[in-house]
A = this chain, B = another copy of it.
Amino acid sequence: MAQRMPRTPDISVAKCSYSLVLDMISSKWVVLVIYAMEDGPVRYGEFSRRIEGISKKMLTQTLRQLERDGLIERDIHPTVPPAVEYRLTALGESLLPFMRQLKTWAAANLPLVEAARTRFDAQSLAE
């Protein structure tokens, strides 16, 4: 008895490190932008072309957020049409192993998730 009876909350959004990290990477475009830089620097226009459906506003906004968090760096080459290159910092690269694990998990388990959803939806309909 008297085993784990928390009268006051012990889990909070503001303190949970899961939430803090997820806030950094969980917006719609962040992972795609990081993914694009996996094997080297990428220019603004190249992101635009490679990432399907991203608007200039969302691209700029996503890049600024990543720069603010210290995950990427901006190199401005003052050439005739100015060229701006973005690349991962050491901090940004330290997220890659974690993203690769995510990918491995997805490959193995997303089909199971799909199946669970189908089951759940079928059952909901039946009731």
Question: How many A residues touch the partner, as a band?
Answer: 35 or more
Give this chain's copy count.
Answer: 2
Chain A, residues 67-78, CB within 8 Å of chain B (1/0): the string is 111110000000
Nearest CB of chain B from residue A79's CB, rounded to whole Å: 18
B18 in contact with A103 (CB, 8 Å): yes
- How would you classify the secondary structure of chain A's contact residues: helix, strand, loop or mixed? helix
Residues of chain B with a CB closer than 8 A to A70's CB: 112-113, 115-117, 119-120
Contacts of A117 in B (CB 8 A): 68-70
Among B9, B32, B105, contact of A16 (Cβ-Cβ < 8 Å): B32
User: Could you say which of B20, B28, B116, B120 contacts A19, with CB atoms under 8 Å apart?
Assistant: B28
